[in-house]
Amino acid sequence: MNIVSEALRISPKYTSSDWNTLSIDAPSDWQRAADIVRDRLEGRFLRFVDSWLTDPFSGFIILSVDSLLAETIQQFRAGVKDGKGKSGKYIKRFLSGPRFQPDFDVIARERFYLDIRCGLLHQAEAKEMWLVRRGQTAMLQKLTSGDGYIIDVLRFHAAVRQSLEDYYHEIVEPSQDDLRAKLWTKMDHISRIRAVRGLLIEAEAKS
């Protein structure tokens, strides 16, 4: 294995060099740009989640990865290079999207961020009164007591996937100039980080 090449990898199939051959102004490059983003997000995350769906005890890990993806997708949409300290903003904005309505109102979005996203990623538990279930009639329902929620992990994951498909379709549309520019900002940043990493590893290998 070439460790320098691996350091340049931005997805299972592509390296920063593959991205750098593309031009934001070349219409013919946009489908490949979308393919690279798809390979990055699906090749490193979604394909694993899909294999966990049938396991009845996989709800927590699926929601953990879906939370990561929700924030990542929204950062792509916003062209964010460094989202440190702004996770709540991006998660809640993502959940305001059409795939999550009308289930996730303002309060539910806030509670999901605090109790599910932060609870699972920081403490490996769903905080407060959340129940993770399957086979529900809706993606999100309030408990009859009014204090807490039931989330259908399969419906939620399907909505995350559909949101990502929506994004792929949008970025290949020539009319989406602003969204495309933000994607390019994000991917150029990712590519530069990998290129610097590759140079450092190459220098170490030669020393």
Range scoring the smallest mean pLDDT among 23-27, 82-86, 110-114, 179-183:
82-86
Q: Is the pLDDT reported for residue 6 higher than 80?
A: no
Under the banding of pLDDT at 50, 70 and 90, the label for residue 206 is low
Taking the domains of the chain in order of start, what are their residue ranges?
3-206
> pLDDT tens, 88-130?
999 999 999 999 999 999 999 999 999 999 999 999 988 888 9
Across all residues in the chain, what is the average pLDDT?
89
- Rounded to an integer, the average pLDDT of 157-184 is 95
Token digits of residue 61: 């890990």
pLDDT in tens, 35-70: 999 999 999 999 999 899 999 999 999 999 999 999
Distance in Å from the first CA to the final CA of the chain: 19
Tokens 């490996």 belong to which residue? 124
Check the CA dihedral 54-129-126-92 and report its sign.
Answer: positive
Confidence of residue 3 (pLDDT cuts 50, 70, 90): very low
Q: Given a cut of 90, is residue 204 above it in pLDDT?
A: no
- DSSP 3-state of 49: helix
The fraction of the chain above a pLDDT of 90, given in percent, is 75
Strand partners, 36: none
* pLDDT score for 84: 81
Phi-psi region of 147 (alpha: psi -120 to 50; beta: other; left: phi over 0): beta
- Percent of the chain surpassing pLDDT 70: 90
**What per-residue confidence (pLDDT) applies to 196?**
64
pLDDT one-digit tens code per residue, 136-147: 999 999 998 878
| The predicted structure's pLDDT at residue 170 | 95
Contact 13/32 with Cβ under 8 angstroms? no
